[in-house]
């Protein structure tokens, strides 16, 4: 007679196509029962009951079990995971991703912050540069990777020039250094910043891979990655190549930008990438008369943070010093740290450090609490449905 263990062994052949593991090892089969007549009842726990992969997983489960000798019927009972079960599943998925990832030159103890936005023009690169420098001012060893392969702007903003060179002994690329931050960019390997890079998706992913595997980053506390806008090849490659990466989402107060930014959060969770928090850029300005003006509206950062269940870590005001500093390679965190934008960037760094402390400073309890919070049952149903897997 077939046993529950036989059933579980057979179910190891049923894979969740998005999570990349079989449903048994992922903890999606909490119980199996068989009655005297050979009727098998299988409890199948999905991240949400209406998981997009539900039909496929349910069909594969039924087909695999009903063909076993001694089985007369199969009943699959679908249920939604609890918050704790989803947190455990996320840990398993990220562990599997780490196992499959190829080695890189980024130490496993490095905190990786991927700065992302749903659309261009929200100041993502300015956030990346000034956040990296603010973390450096806090005493940390920081790297800055310009993953916006087509639209690179980090070299000019950071005030560094190419070409990059390689170490003869290690044959590894040596990053450029600007204001104490190590940086690499495609802008440092081409003839001039006006040169157009007409690369297809595979070449974009390969460039990112080379920046991670062939650059001698050394020991870093933080690596800030300036992603291209949207949810394309580079973002997906980063999740695969560097599973320790966590996302910082940039938006502006406008509802249009906030709604588009939700898609980036959706992509992050589909890729098992935790979200550090949200930054609202261009959050009004104070004129010479002391009056505050919200040129791009207000509330977008708060609404996005609430929608994706992540903390709002900072608001960066409009400040002419940010623009001029970026053009001249003298970022505002260096030239005017006490000014409106400079002080806001330093506060943002404090928020990032609080949520994502250096590895040796983080407690297990704090880490678990963050993972559970990001998978909280309170996530709006429409986003949860889009961000969940089978």
Residue 237 has pLDDT above 50, yes or no: yes
Could you tell me the pLDDT band of residue 384, with boundaries at 50, 70 and 90? very low
- Name which of 221-225, 238-242, 283-287 the model is least confident about: 283-287
Give the pLDDT of residue 381: 43
Residue range 327-380, pLDDT digits in tens: 899 999 999 999 999 999 999 999 999 998 987 655 444 444 455 555 554 444
Residue 28 has pLDDT above 50, yes or no: yes
Give the pLDDT of residue 365: 42
Residues of the chain with CATH 3.40.50.300: 99-387
Altogether, the residues listed in the chain come to a count of: 390
Residues of the chain with CATH 3.30.300.130: 4-81
- Name which of 69-78, 183-192, 231-240, 269-278 the model is least confident about: 231-240
Contact 226, 154 (CB under 8 A): yes
Residue range 63-111, pLDDT digits in tens: 889 878 889 999 999 888 887 787 777 777 666 655 555 688 998 889 9
Task: Report the distance separating Cα 210 and Cα 192, nearest Å.
Answer: 20
Higher pLDDT, 160 or 118: 160
Residue 163 has pLDDT above 80, yes or no: yes
Q: How many C-beta neighbours within 10 Å does residue 219 have?
A: 8
Contact 354, 361 (CB under 8 A): no
Give the pLDDT of residue 382: 44
- 4-81: CATH homologous superfamily? Fe-S cluster assembly (FSCA) (3.30.300.130)
Give the pLDDT of residue 101: 56
Q: Which residues contact 265 (CB under 8 A, 6 or more apart)?
A: 247, 249, 275, 304, 307, 308, 310, 383, 387
Q: How much is the mean pLDDT over the chain?
A: 82
Task: Report the distance separating Cα 305 and Cα 299, nearest Å.
Answer: 10
Residue range 114-143, pLDDT digits in tens: 999 987 888 899 999 999 999 999 999 999
What number is the average pLDDT over the span 48-73?
81
Q: Nearest 5°: CA angle at 300, between 298 and 302?
A: 100
- Topology of the domain comprising 99-387: Rossmann fold (3.40.50)
Could you tell me the pLDDT band of residue 389, with boundaries at 50, 70 and 90? very low
């Amino acid at each position: 007679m077939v046993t529950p263990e036989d059933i579980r062994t057979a179910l190891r052949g049923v894979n969740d196509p998005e999570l990349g593991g079989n449903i048994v090892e992922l903890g999606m089969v909490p119980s199996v029962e068989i009655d005297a007549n050979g009727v098998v009842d299988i409890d199948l726990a999905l991240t949400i009951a209406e998981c997009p992969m539900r039909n496929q997983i349910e069909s594969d489960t039924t087909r695999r079990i009903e063909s076993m000798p001694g089985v007369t019927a199969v009943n699959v009972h679908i249920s939604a995971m609890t918050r704790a079960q989803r947190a455990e599943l996320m840990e398993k998925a990220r562990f599997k991703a780490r196992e499959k990832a190829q080695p890189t030159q980024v130490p496993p103890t490095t905190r990786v912050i991927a700065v992302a936005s749903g659309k261009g023009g929200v100041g993502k690169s300015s956030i990346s540069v000034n956040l990296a420098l603010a973390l450096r001012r806090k005493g940390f060893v920081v790297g800055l990777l310009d993953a916006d392969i087509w639209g690179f702007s980090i070299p000019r903003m950071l005030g560094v020039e190419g070409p990059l060179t390689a170490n003869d002994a290690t044959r590894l690329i040596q990053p450029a250094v600007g204001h104490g931050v190590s940086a690499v960019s495609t802008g440092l390997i081409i003839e001039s910043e006006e040169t157009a890079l007409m690369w297809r998706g595979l070449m974009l992913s390969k460039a990112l891979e080379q920046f991670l595997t062939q650059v001698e980053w050394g020991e870093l506390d933080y690596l800030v990655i300036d992603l291209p806008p949207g949810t394309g090849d580079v973002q997906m490659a980063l999740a695969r190549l560097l599973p320790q990466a966590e996302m910082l989402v940039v938006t502006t107060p406008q509802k249009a930008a906030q709604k588009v930014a939700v898609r980036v959060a959706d992509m992050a969770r589909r890729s098992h990438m935790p979200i550090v928090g949200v930054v609202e850029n261009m959050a009004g300005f104070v004129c010479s008369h002391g009056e505050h003006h919200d040129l791009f509206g207000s509330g977008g950062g708060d609404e996005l943070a609430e929608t994706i269940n992540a903390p709002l870590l900072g608001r960066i005001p409009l400040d002419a010093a940010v623009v001029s500093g970026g053009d001249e390679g003298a970022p505002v965190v260096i030239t005017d740290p006490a000014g409106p934008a400079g002080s806001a960037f330093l506060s943002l760094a404090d928020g990032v450090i609080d949520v994502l402390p250096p590895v040796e400073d983080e407690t297990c309890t704090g880490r678990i609490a963050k993972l559970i919070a990001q998978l909280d049952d309170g996530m709006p149903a429409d986003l949860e449905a889009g961000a969940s897997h089978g």
